[in-house]
Amino acid sequence: MSSHEKLSAAANDRKARLAQLKSLKRKQAPTSDEPEAADSPSLQLQAETSDAIVRAEADTPSVATTYLSGRNYDPTTRNVKLGFDNLPISDPTNTLEYKAQQLALETKAQQEAEKAEDKGLDLFKLQPKKPNWDLKRDLEQKMKSLDVQTENAIAKLVRERVEAQKAIQDEDVS
């Protein structure tokens, strides 16, 4: 078969498929309850086109496989390739969605374990924290250095007072 004949066969194939799609759009596919009319022209056309397609595929390789690259076209489905052949992420357990799902499962298991224990109310869990607990936490870190300076200042004042008292006693004695 020459290339011109191959192209015309491919064109006829497309025309047959389009005609088949048009007929399907116009009328619903027949159900098994309804008797089919074997002499209807649309059924004869469908049978002829399917026979022609089968004969053309059996004789020669598909025109799509001959002329179209496999990059974006899938010849088996005769359509555009959709999506990925391989997953773009090599490790599916390394995604945020997976980690969130695992975290949700862990919390559900934890809740079920707490329900299974069936203890009474834990008042420490129910007791709210004071509204300034975070301020106190931050203040403690800043106060550590100030506490050291305060202790040094107190010690210095005590020493000065003791020395002043010794000086007064020495003056009284002499």
21 within a domain of the structure (yes/no): yes
Cα atoms in the Cβ-side hemisphere of radius 13 Å centred on 42: 16
Phi, psi values for residue 79, rounded to 5°: -150, 175
What are the strands, taking DSSP E only, across 3-145? Answer: 73-74, 79-80
91 within a domain of the structure (yes/no): no
Query: How confident is the model at residue 56, as a pLDDT?
Result: 52
97 within a domain of the structure (yes/no): no
pTM of the model: 0.25
160 within a domain of the structure (yes/no): yes
pLDDT (tens digit, 9 = 90+) per residue, 26-59?
Answer: 775 554 444 444 455 666 666 666 676 666 555 5
Average pLDDT over residues 15-30: 78
Query: How confident is the model at residue 151, as a pLDDT?
Result: 96
Average pLDDT over residues 11-19: 92
pLDDT (tens digit, 9 = 90+) per residue, 92-120?
Answer: 788 888 999 999 999 999 988 888 777 66
Q: Report the percent of the chain where pLDDT is more than 70.
A: 68
Query: How confident is the model at residue 103, as a pLDDT?
Result: 95
Whether 75 and 68 have beta carbons less than 8 Å apart is answered as: yes
Last residue of a domain, one of 57, 80, 103: 80
Q: Which domain holds residue 39?
A: 3-80
99 within a domain of the structure (yes/no): no
Q: What is the DSSP string of 102-123?
A: HHHHHHHHHHHHHHHHT----H
pLDDT band with cut points at 50, 70 and 90 for residue 156: very high
pLDDT at position 90 over 70: yes
Query: How confident is the model at residue 38, as a pLDDT?
Result: 47
170 within a domain of the structure (yes/no): yes
